[in-house]
Amino acid sequence: MASGHMPNAVNTPWAKFFDPTNNFAFVDAQTAAKVFADAKVDVSGPVITTCGSGVTAAILGFMIERAGNPDWKLYDGSWHEWGQREDTPKRSAAAPKA
């Protein structure tokens, strides 16, 4: 599998959406919106979530919806599928965002 990331992907770690005082609770809607804003993720329009295998991307989708946007999709193949395909564009981990 190739290393790197999908073009225009923005890394937003799912762990940031858990309440640091209670690791079994998600953050509230305002905090979720701030996490996305701090990562420079525009969640006001259509969003596609992805991760390594498609599992933790569900947390991102839930948080996008919690922040007020129901217009999101989860790419369930995620990097596991994308990184193995010869016909998909890839950006190296060290390359700046395009």
User: 18-29, pLDDT tens digit by residue?
Assistant: 998 987 899 999
pLDDT band at 32 (very low <50, low <70, confident <90, very high): very high
First to last CA, the chain: 22
The β-bridge partners of 52 are: none
Give me the pLDDT at residue 89, please. Answer: 87
51 is catalytic: yes
Task: Please count the other Cβ atoms lying within 10 Å of the Cβ belonging to residue 63.
Answer: 25
Give me the pLDDT at residue 94, please. Answer: 62
Which is catalytic among the residues 51, 57, 67, 74?
51
Looking at domain 14-82, its CATH architecture is 3-Layer(aba) Sandwich (3.40)
Write down the domain spans for the chain: 14-82
User: 44-84, pLDDT tens digit by residue?
Assistant: 999 999 998 888 999 999 999 999 999 999 999 888 888 88
Q: What is the DSSP letter of 15?
A: G
48 within 8 A of 74, measured Cβ to Cβ: yes
Q: Of 85, 71, 82, 86, whose CA–CA distance to 5 is shortest?
A: 82
